[in-house]
Amino acid sequence: GGGITIGNHCKIGPNCQIYTINHPLDYMQRRQPVETGYHVTIGDDCWLGGGVILCPGVTIGNRCIIAAGSVVTRDIPDDTLAAGNPATVKRNLR
C-alpha cells in the first residue's frame, strides 16, 4: 500500500475512510495481480468530520477542517475549510 501519515492533535470523526490503493481503469490491466499505492497525508491539528473519504494520494494541509461527508480527491492547502463531493475549499481559516 501507499501508507498513511496522520499528524499531531488530529480529530477524525466516525466512519471516515482513507484509501491508498488505486486500480487501473483498463480491464486487462486489472487482471494483473498489481496494485498501485499512493501515500495519504493528514497534517497537524486537522479535524475530519464524520464520513469523510480521502482518496489515494491526497494531502490535507495543517490546521484544516474537512466537513462531514466530504470526498477529498485533491490536495487541501493549510488553514482551510473544505466541503463537498468533490471537496473544494470553502474558506480560509487564517
Tens of pLDDT, residue by residue over 55-79, are 999 999 999 999 999 999 999 999 9
> Any idea what the Cα angle at residue 1 is, between residues 52 and 41, rounded to 5°?
45
User: Residue 39 catalytic?
Assistant: no
Q: Which of 11, 23, 30, 91 is catalytic?
A: 23
Question: Are the CB atoms for 45 and 58 separated by under 8 Å?
Answer: no
The CATH number given to whatever domain includes residue 49 is 2.160.10.10
Residues 36, 3: Cα–Cα separation, whole Å:
11
Range of the domain at 16: 4-92
How many domains does the chain fold into? 1
> What pLDDT, in 10s, does the model give residues 17-42?
999 998 888 999 889 887 889 999 99
Write down the pLDDT at residue 13.
98
